[in-house]
Chains A and B, each alone.
Chain A
Amino acid sequence: MSRVIGLAALAATGLALVLGLVVAPEAAIQGESQRLMYVHVPSAWTAFASFGVVGLCSAAVLLRRPGHWGAVALAAGEVGVVATGLTLAEGSLWGHMAWGTWWAWDPRLVSTALLFLSYLGYLAMRGLPGDAAEQRAAAAGLLFLLEIPVVHFSVLWWPSLHQQATILRPSLTPPIEGRMFLALMVALLASTLGAAWYVMRRTDQLVATPAAEPVVDAPAPEVLR
């Protein structure tokens, strides 16, 4: 199954490259640098979707449902953190081109950086030994989900440099040119399939070879209990 998804991700990536770099027209005001949208938006979506998976699997871990939910949550957390980092990096580059600055203390940018640090913390918690640590990490993985609507609606709740949603707005016809829309949708599909492939492969890997026992078999510090 993961092979089929991996091949589909590869095919979608190739198509997304052609659509984003060749077929989609140059943006009227921003010029060619607007093509960064086809990597920036899919990264952000992939981060949100991955953290959604972390949340669902964390709930299963907390409820002690049978299954390898902890492994799926860890795999999704890893790809989510990488995708958030990519969102920040691509956004910084695009900001440099469109706004004339690499970084601004802007609600969308700051809330995204906070999301990145939160799930980086989640991954760090997953590195701690013991079943109790996994339960605590699951609680954090579920709690951090609350940040996602804050990131998404930050551009509506506070004044922001960042543009508002183009696709996810209450309008039947998104204000975007047809070929640009197609390129973005295929790029979103490619990124989603790639993340799904990673989670499936990595979960198998984590289940097949559980993390080694800690070298020092000492009780966890008081603060972690």
Chain B
Amino acid sequence: MSGWGAVAVGYAVIGVTWAGLVWRALRRRG
């Protein structure tokens, strides 16, 4: 894996995870 490849994967992982947290905090509990 190239350096930029690792950075792309790393930033994507943290981006998707935080998006999940934001979704969880914004949704209404039924």
Give the B-binding residues of A (Cβ under 8 A).
17, 21, 30-36, 39-40, 43, 78-79, 82, 85-86, 89-90, 93-94, 96-97, 194, 197-198, 201-202, 205, 208-209
Determine the distance from Cα of A202 to Cα of B24 in the docked complex, in whole angstroms.
8
For A93, what are the chain B residues with a Cβ–Cβ distance below 8 Å? 6, 9-10, 13
Judging by beta carbons under 8 Å apart, are B21 and A79 in contact? yes
Interface 1/0 per residue, B3-30 and A, CB below 8 Å: 1101101110110011001101110110
Interfacial chain B residues near A97, Cβ < 8 Å: 1, 3, 6
Interface size on B, residues (CB 8 A): 20
User: Are B17 and A21 within 8 A (Cβ)?
Assistant: no
- Interface pair A82/B21, CB less than 8 Å apart: yes
A40 CA to B6 CA, complexed, in Å = 12
- Which A residues touch B26, using CB under 8 A? 201
A86/B25 contact (C-beta < 8 A), A36-B7, A97-B3 known: no
Residues of B within 8 A of A (CB): 1-4, 6-7, 9-11, 13-14, 17-18, 21-22, 24-26, 28-29
Q: Give, as a whole number of angstroms, the nearest-CB distance from A99 to chain B.
A: 13
Query: Are A90 and B3 in contact, with the CB atoms below 8 A?
Result: no
- Is chain A's binding surface mostly helix, strand, loop or mixed? helix
CB distance from A187 to the nearest CB of B (A): 10
> In the complex, which of the residues B6, B21, B25, B28 contacts A94, with contact meaning CB atoms closer than 8 Å?
B6
* B23–chain A nearest beta-carbon distance, Å: 11
Which of chain A's residues has its CB closest to B2's CB?
A32
Q: How far is it, in angstroms, between the C-alpha of A82 and the C-alpha of B26 when the chains are bound? A: 17
- Bound complex: CA A31 to CA B7 (Å): 11
Instruction: Sample 21 A-B pairs with CB under 8 A, ordered by A number.
Output: A31-B3, A32-B3, A33-B7, A34-B3, A36-B7, A39-B11, A82-B17, A82-B21, A86-B14, A90-B10, A93-B9, A93-B10, A96-B1, A97-B3, A97-B6, A194-B18, A198-B22, A198-B25, A205-B25, A205-B29, A208-B29
Question: Is B24 touching A90 in the complex (CB atoms < 8 A)?
Answer: no
Residues of B near A43 (CB, < 8 A) are: 14
